Amino acid sequence: MRWAIVTDSSCDLLPSPNNQGEVRCGSVPFVIRVGERDFVDDEALDLPEMVDAMEQEAHASHTSCPSPEAWLKQFEQADCIVAITISSQLSGSMNSACVARDMAKQADPNKKIAVVDSRSTGPELVLCVQEILRLIREGKAFQDVVSYAESFFRKAQIAFALCSFDNLIKNGRLGKVAGFLAKKLKLWGIGIGSEEGEIEVVGKVRGQKKALARLLADMHERGFQGGKAAISHCLNPSFAMELKERIVETWPGTAVEVMSTRGLCGYYAERGGVIVSFVG
């Protein structure tokens, strides 16, 4: 029986270069439109180049979710498939995956395909994929794996810190004057993912040290007592590593993984932004 875990590129885990084992890990890319250029969010994406282009472009950039055909191509390569999408509150990726699921099952009714709404993005999907891999290798049944994935996203949590507001300004979500002052004062926007899968900005702090302290305080306030965490950064490895060190110092024994964002999360986080997901 061939298994596949398929995510859209909101997951900051690149697909495995070796997919010949018992579990195939696949990914379907978003496309980020910057001016007249399309950046396909796959393994070949040059993140610094994309971020540079976004900063140099005067107009708003946009994203396009994966097509049903892209999902279907992945679904055709396994018998048991768990597909995980970015929050359905942020994109139409889940709808595309569901269309592809129906197409795949029409062609092969014996296929087992579950589409899971992460109600999140980025590093939280990474943590879930790793747990699903563990369960499959332990020999768990398909429905048990799916149930675990769904429950995982109900208990995992996510927070982010942004130091650039260019996208918010260009998309009209933040006034130019307010954006100029935020940049001048070196303000960071601190936010969380809600239970419904929406983004909520919960405060502003001045400077990177206060942003780091606010993220740690948020983890404590939301009941984190140690376990697992994953940190994605958009071209800011020093901040991500410092956050990792402080997490391990605060909650000894916590397993923390640090990685770069892929294109989609880099589009939202912008240069310097950091996203952290955690689960006990």
For residue 205, which phi and psi values (nearest 5 degrees)? -135, 160
Mean pLDDT in residue range 196-222 = 91
How confident is the model over 191-213, as a mean pLDDT? 88
Residue-wise pLDDT for 67-96, tens only, equals 999 999 999 999 999 999 999 998 999 999
Q: Within 13 Å and on the Cβ side, how many CA atoms surround 66?
A: 31
The band of 17, judged by pLDDT with boundaries at 50, 70 and 90, is low
Top-confidence residue, 121 or 169: 121
The arithmetic mean of pLDDT across residues 230-235, rounded, is: 98
- The reported pLDDT for the residue numbered 177 is 44
The set of residues, in sequence order, having a beta carbon less than 8 Å from that of 207 and lying 6+ positions away, is: 186, 188
Residue of 164 and 52 predicted with greater confidence: 52
- Per residue in 129-171, pLDDT (tens digit) is 999 999 999 999 999 999 999 999 999 999 999 988 777 667 6
Give the pLDDT of residue 147: 98
CA 32, CA 53: separation in Å to the nearest integer?
11
Choice among 115-119, 200-204, 205-209, 211-215 with the minimum mean pLDDT: 200-204
Closest CA to 100 of 38, 26, 45: 26
pLDDT of residue 168: 66
Average pLDDT (23-47) is 96
Q: How sure is the predictor about 47, in pLDDT bands with cuts at 50, 70 and 90?
A: very high
The predicted model gives 232-249 an average pLDDT of: 98
pLDDT band at 127 (very low <50, low <70, confident <90, very high): very high
pLDDT band at 31 (very low <50, low <70, confident <90, very high): very high
Q: What is the mean pLDDT of residues 171-190?
A: 61
Residues 6+ apart with CB under 8 A from 52: none
| Percent over 70 (pLDDT), the chain | 92
- Give the separation between CA 205 and CA 174, rounded to whole angstroms: 17
At residue 172, the pLDDT reads 59
* 230, 277 Cβ separation under 8 angstroms: yes
Question: What pLDDT score does 201 carry?
Answer: 79
Q: How far is CA 237 from CA 125, 187, 204, 261, in A?
A: 20, 19, 21, 11
Q: Is 99 a residue whose pLDDT tops 90? A: yes
Burial class (CB in 10 A: 0-12, 13-18, 19+), 102: middle
Contacts of 247 (CB under 8 A, 6+ apart): 216, 219, 229, 254, 256, 278
- Range with the poorest average pLDDT among 36-50, 87-101, 199-213: 199-213
Residue of 122, 124, 131 whose CA lies nearest to 157: 124
What's the whole-number mean pLDDT along residues 1-27? 85
